[in-house]
Amino acid sequence: MKKSALFFIFCVAHVIVFAQKKPNMVIIISDDHAYQAIGAYGSQFAHTPNIDKIASTGVRMDRAYVTNSICSPSRATLLTGKYSHKNGFKDNETSNFDHSQDLFVKDLQKVGYKTAWIGKQHLGNEPQGFDYFSVLVGQGTYFNPTFINKGNQREAVEGYVSDIVTDKATRWLDSLDKNNPFCLIIGHKATHRTWMPDPQDFGKNDHKKFQLPANFYDHYEDRLSAAGQEMSIDKDMQMAYDLKMYESTEKMKTERSFARMNEKQLTSYMAYYKPIKEQLDMQKLSGKALAEWKYRRYMIDYLNTAESMDRNIGRVLDYLKEHNLEKNTLVMYVSDQGFYMGEHGWFDKRFMYEESFRTPMVIQFPELIAKGTISNAKIMNVDIAPTLLELAGVKKPAEMQGESFVKVLKGQDKEGRENLYYHYYENGEHAVSPHFGVSDGRYKLIRFYKRVNAWELYDLSEDPSEMKNIYGSASSKTINTLKKKLKKEIQKVDDKEALTIFNQKL
Ligand code: SGN
Ligand code: CA
């Protein structure tokens, strides 16, 4: 054989071996799942053995943050590695996602990856960059959900959403030629409002004692936007819609999420909730007693809903193990943002305060990450795309704003980002004022605008629950230092809208 032919064979073989070495990726993204409700994060009441298993096999990220604490903007940031003002998806109410822009999954496809998104994506009905997709229509529903499959084909499936999404995910994995690397994104509907458990999980968390957060009765002094929100468990959480307190099956069926249930599903819901409603009626609660009853029921529904998701995450982990894929597959579990479990008296998210700004993130990848690592490095969801690209050996596209945290995963970087920049835009449901801000880990400076015009400053080392806005009392030196940091971050990500507001006098 000629030398050149031999060389050619060598090159092809090298490419094949190299291609096989590219890691597989399974990204499991939940919806509104709080770190306060995860065992691995120290929750005393959560039952999340499978998420915990990912953490103990790999790393628990304790300072993972989002750039904009709301569903679709978070997923848009995950896909693009860009802030909302650059990827064009700022809020759920007015934005349309441009799927034709560069997405990390498209870059992965170029180097041989098979890609799929299955479950909740919430970025319209025409995803791009996926060899296969089956996404929930809009927010999706817990029962008998409808999917849009590639080729714009609608499919209604009977059953409970977390099971169905996982069935689809494992079927897609089954269909793959495992010699090619793959990137699978599983989007869970759980634990989004209105927290509807799989009936088999009713009762699982009902016996538990929940400690009311110390700031449940927050009076929001010096915090105008916090005072004006509409996401209070006491004031805004609805007895019927949210907590499922209906007099009769007929009344229950007036709500869309129940109207779509089959007889068996509806019967099991009535059988569980009716006695709770009867007991409540007998108690005739009001004031604080009623607020605390609502908090308790919220916790129970939320945790019962999480049971199925965690169980289904376990199915995916088992699949990888059974198919000998565990070693060469990175598994990341992340939520689209954090969530309030009664802190400040709230449910929902949106604020730059820690509970919603921070997101749970645990990652296993035995080839790279040491077992049982706890990382305090500051990272953001905008950093996920560049990290995955680096692991796949792909150069980061110039316009991608995130920074790879591969070094953090390898244990070579303990700090991560110096500053965290945040910008929330939506100005509607739950009445949270738009705002942007910076956190350096100790101080957090926030500028609210539109609905409320105000600055807020917190010293997290003194006040981790962010109850005391010290903007009015802090030294001008501290404020100026933080303002400089904020301006630098605004300029770094080229957020023109924020810069204009930053420069305005209050
Ligand atoms: C829905 C919910 C809100 C929630 C948003 C955004 N209302 O509109 O409570 O904040 O979604 O959630 S509901 O009455 O429809 O449940 S997100 O996960 O899409 O960001
Ligand atoms: Ca969400």
Reported as a single tens digit per residue, the pLDDT across 153-165 is 999 999 999 999 9
Residue 238 has pLDDT above 90, yes or no: yes
Quote the pLDDT of residue 207.
Answer: 97
190 CB less than 6 Å from ligand 1?
A: no
Reported as a single tens digit per residue, the pLDDT across 52-83 is 999 999 999 999 999 999 999 999 999 999 99
Residue 180 alpha carbon to ligand 1 centre in Å: 37
3-state secondary structure of 380: strand
242-271 mean pLDDT: 97
162-189 mean pLDDT: 97
31 CB less than 6 Å from ligand 1?
A: yes
Reported as a single tens digit per residue, the pLDDT across 432-477 is 999 999 999 999 999 999 999 999 999 999 999 999 999 999 999 9
Domain span at 430: 424-502
57: domain CATH number is 3.40.720.10
Quote the pLDDT of residue 20.
Answer: 52
Nearest CA to ligand 1 atom 15: 193
Q: Does some domain include residue 25?
A: yes
Q: Which ligand is nearest to the CA of 122?
A: 1
Which of 33, 92, 229, 425 to mutate for ligand 1's pocket (most ligand atoms within 8 Å of CB)? 92
Nearest CA to ligand 1 atom 12: 71
**Does 410 share its domain with 433?**
no
Q: Which ligand is nearest to the CA of 381?
A: 2
Instruction: State the pairing for strand pair 24-30/182-187.
Output: parallel
Q: Does some domain include residue 288?
A: no
**Does 471 share its domain with 363?**
no
**Does 453 share its domain with 473?**
yes
Structure tokens at 165: 């999404």
Final residue in a domain of this structure, among 383, 416, 449: 416
32 CB less than 6 Å from ligand 1?
A: yes
Tally of domains in the chain: 2
Which of 32, 136, 192 to mutate for ligand 1's pocket (most ligand atoms within 8 Å of CB)? 192
446 CB less than 6 Å from ligand 1?
A: no
193 CB less than 6 Å from ligand 1?
A: yes
Residue 179 alpha carbon to ligand 2 centre in Å: 34
CA nearest to 363, candidates 27, 23, 22: 27
**pLDDT tier, 16 (very low <50, low <70, confident <90, very high otherwise):** very low
333-338 mean pLDDT: 98
The pTM of the full predicted model, rounded to 2 decimals, is 0.95
Q: What is the CA radius of gyration of the chain?
A: 23
Atom of ligand 1 at shortest range from CA of 192? 18
466: domain CATH number is 3.30.1120.10
**Does 305 share its domain with 394?**
yes
Reported as a single tens digit per residue, the pLDDT across 97-141 is 999 999 999 999 999 999 999 999 999 989 999 999 999 999 999
**Does 338 share its domain with 484?**
no
Quote the pLDDT of residue 152.
Answer: 82
Reported as a single tens digit per residue, the pLDDT across 374-396 is 999 999 999 999 999 999 999 99
Distance from C-alpha of 135 to C-alpha of 117, rounded to nearest angstrom: 7
Q: Are 360 and 33 in contact (CB under 8 A)?
A: yes
Quote the pLDDT of residue 21.
Answer: 84
Quote the pLDDT of residue 151.
Answer: 85
| DSSP string over 100-130 | TS--HHHHHHHTT-EEEEEE---S-S---S-
Quote the pLDDT of residue 487.
Answer: 98
Quote the pLDDT of residue 176.
Answer: 98
